[in-house]
Amino acid sequence: MSDTLAAPHHDGSALYVLETPAELGDTTTVRLRVPCGAELDAVAVRYVRDGEPHVAAAEIDEESEHETWWRVSFRVENPVTSYRWLLSGGRIGYGWVTGEGFVGHDVPDADDFVSAVGGDGPAWHADGVVYQVYPDRFARSGIARTPPAWAVSRDWDETPTGFGPDTPLEWFGGDLPGVEAHLDHLARLGASVLYLTPFFPARSTHRYNATSFDEVDPLLGGDEALVSLVRAAEPRKAAALVDQIRKDSATDPAAAARLVKQRFPDLASCIGSPEARSRLNKSLRWLVANNIRVLTPQLFIDNVKLCDEDVDLGLEYTLANMLARHGSGQLTAAPAGKPAPAAAHGAARPAGGTP
């Protein structure tokens, strides 16, 4: 069922989403199109409320000689509610419909559809034409720039390597002034939204592993180039978007340390401090020497557990990973009034003194 028209289908357009929730507790009504011949026994929606899965059975809304439309309504009790379609019986047998399309087996919920409370987003998103630009490969302004040490320099007309270790390092020299110089070209194509891939400094040309979020990469022209590009797009009534993932900076120790310092200024003097690392090591050695059973060290900041890994293996890296999880809502505050658990416990008698 690889042909889109021959497969069950659902998306976020008005044809498939008949009713959207304006506030918590409202109902959303969605539809699924199933091609003729599927002969399904049942269709349902699996949706998540307060972290728990729920199921709402769908009913046939309309039929024709070519397709059958199934319809279901369910209450939205959270600001964002994910859902997917469950199909059973007939020629399909068993399967799900998610944002990735139809699959005949269980899949994670990363690609589930989403019903969000409130407005439908900016006015341009419904009829906008999006053009994605990868700045390093789109256009060069001709401004001389010195490639960094990690870059593998390529001539502009040279064919990229493709998949391989040099793929993220190949530097062709495209920049934001080059994009600005071609805005009229994009307008002639009918594009109304400029979708930029990441533009912060990084050790790659795709820049998903940013080392800083404080400035636009000088290789692309710096902050001034971005401001100039956005201003040039405004008279053309073009919107500008940027693709960015913040958590990948955790793979760079220096970037991770900066993020931790920004989020928790009180820790700034500890990050990378030989004294702090020495005290951690001394504490662990004391516990081992006194035969005290050691649990995984845990770190609580602002009543939120950030670290449940061995801090001796890399405090900066561990904290950066925990910060990413905290930011995505995977780490929550400890219950009120409940003290943070100790890093170690046991009944053994100390050999003398405390660390």
Q: What share of the chain in percent tops pLDDT 70?
A: 70
Confidence of residue 179 (pLDDT cuts 50, 70, 90): very high
Both tokens of residue 238? Answer: 């073009």
pLDDT tens digits, 229-261: 999 998 887 777 777 665 544 455 566 666 667
Start and end residues for every CATH 2.60.40.10 domain found in the chain: 4-120
Please give the CATH superfamily to which domain 4-120 belongs: Immunoglobulins (2.60.40.10)
Pairing of strands 59-63, 101-103: unpaired
Has residue 101 got a pLDDT over 50? yes
Residue 44 has pLDDT above 50, yes or no: yes
Q: Summarize the confidence of residues 102-129 as an average pLDDT.
A: 82
Tens-place pLDDT, residues 72-88: 999 999 988 999 999 99
Task: Say which CATH class 125-245 falls into.
Answer: alpha beta
Q: Exposed, middle or buried: residue 165 (CB in 10 Å: 0-12, 13-18, 19+)?
A: exposed
C-alpha dihedral, 110 to 113 to 115 to 116, nearest 10°: 50
Stretch(es) of the chain classified as CATH 3.20.20.80: 125-245
pTM exceeds 0.85, yes or no: no
